[in-house]
A = this chain, B = another copy of it.
Amino acid sequence: MGGTNIAAAVVDPCGSVQSRVSLPTPRGASAQAVASAMSRAALDALNAGGYTLSDIESVGVGSPGTVDPAQGLIRRWYKMGFENVPITALLARTLPKPIFLENDANCAALGEYAAGAGRDVRSLVAITLGTGVGGGAVLDGSIYTGFNHAGMEPGHMAVAHGGRLCACGRRGCLEAYASASALITRAKEVLGLEQADGKTAFLEAEHGNPLAAQVVEEYISYLACGIVNLVNLFQPELVCLGGGVAQQGERLLTPIREILNRENYARGLPQRTRLVQAALGTDAGIIGAALLPFYTKPQ
C-alpha cells in the first residue's frame, strides 16, 4: 500500500511473484475505503493468476508510516491522515486469512533478506533512495524495529549538524542530502536547470560537465557518510541500496565502497560489511510483506 498505488501479488514461499495487480489509491478517502481497495486488489491478484482464497496461507500488508503489528494498527500515516487505523480488522472481513502487518521499508528490507541481495547473509541493513531515504534492518532473522516499532529511520539520522532543513523538522538529516529529491534539487540549483530527474546529474557528469560531477561527488560524499555511520553502529553482514538512485549501480557503489573501506571502524578486521545494490527493485516490499509469517516472532 502506497500513497499513489496499491499493489497486490500472489507470492510463493520462495519469494517469487506468481500474479499481480496494481490499483490507484483512493484519493482523500476514508481508511474504510482504502481497505476496500486493498481487498479488491488482493482478490484481483488471485483472479489474475487463476487462484482462489483457498490457495493462499496468509496475507501480508506493507504500510507507510508507523505501524503496530501486534494490534494490527496503522498508528500514524501523515500523508493519508491515518491515525490508529485498525487495518487488519478492516481487511479481515473480505480476506479471512491470518493477516500480517509491517512498515513498508521493513518489508522491503525483509524481501531483500529473504529472497534478494541478502539471501545468503544473517544480517542486513537495506536503504532505499527515493523521495525520502528509507531503511530497514533484518538482524539474525528478525526485522529490527525498536520497542515502539518506529526504529530504523536512517533518513532521519543527522550527518550535518545545523545543516539543511529536513521535512521532519530536524536539520542535517541524511534524507536532506541523499534522497533522490535532494539530488534533483541540487542538480537544478547547480546546473541552472528548470527540469531534472534523479539521473540528470549522473548523466551530465558522464558527459563531462564539471558542475554535474560536483553535484554527484557531493551526493556520494553525504550518502557514504550515512552508510559508514550505519556500518559503525550495526556492523551488518550486508548493506544494500535500493530505490531509483541505486540504479546507477557501480557508478554509485564503487566510490562509496572506497570511503567505507577507509572509514569503517572495523576496517582492520577480516570480516567487513559488504555493500551491494538491492536485487528485487520495487518488488522487494511486496515480496517481504508476503514472507512476513516466516520472520515474525509469536507475540
Q: Chain A 134-149 against B: per-residue CB contact (8 Å), 1 yes, 0 no?
A: 0000010000111111
Whether a CB of chain B sits under 8 angstroms from the CB of A257 is no
**Knowing A161-B160, A229-B158 touch, does A151 contact B269 (C-beta < 8 A)?**
no
How many copies the complex holds: the figure is 2
Q: Does A100 contact B (CB under 8 A)?
A: no
**Contacts A76-B268, A158-B229 known; A235 to B123 CB distance under 8 Å?**
no
Contacts of A230 in B (CB 8 A): 233
Residues in chain B near residue A266, CB distance under 8 A: 66, 146, 148, 150
Among A49-57, A196-204, A209-217, A220-228, the stretch that binds chain B is A220-228
What's the minimum C-beta distance from A152 to chain B, rounded to whole angstroms? 6
Does A283 sit within 8 A of B, measured CB to CB?
no
Contact assessment for B169 and A147 in the assembled complex, using a CB-CB cutoff below 8 Å: no
> Chain B residues with Cβ under 8 A from A229's Cβ?
157-158, 229
Give the shortest distance, in Å, between A21 (CB) and chain B (any CB). 33
Q: Tell me, rounded to whole Å, the shortest Cβ–Cβ distance linking A42 to chain B.
A: 28
Interface residues of A (CB under 8 A from B): 66, 75-76, 121-123, 139, 144-154, 156-161, 163, 168-170, 172, 177, 221-222, 225, 228-230, 232-237, 262-263, 265-266, 268-269, 271-273
Closest 8 CB pairs of A and B: A146-B235, A151-B235, A148-B271, A150-B266, A157-B229, A147-B237, A160-B161, A156-B232
Listed A/B pairs (25) with beta-carbon separation below 8 Å = A66-B268, A75-B269, A76-B268, A122-B147, A123-B146, A123-B147, A139-B144, A146-B236, A147-B236, A148-B272, A150-B266, A152-B233, A153-B233, A153-B265, A156-B232, A156-B265, A157-B229, A157-B232, A158-B159, A158-B225, A158-B229, A160-B160, A161-B163, A161-B172, A233-B233
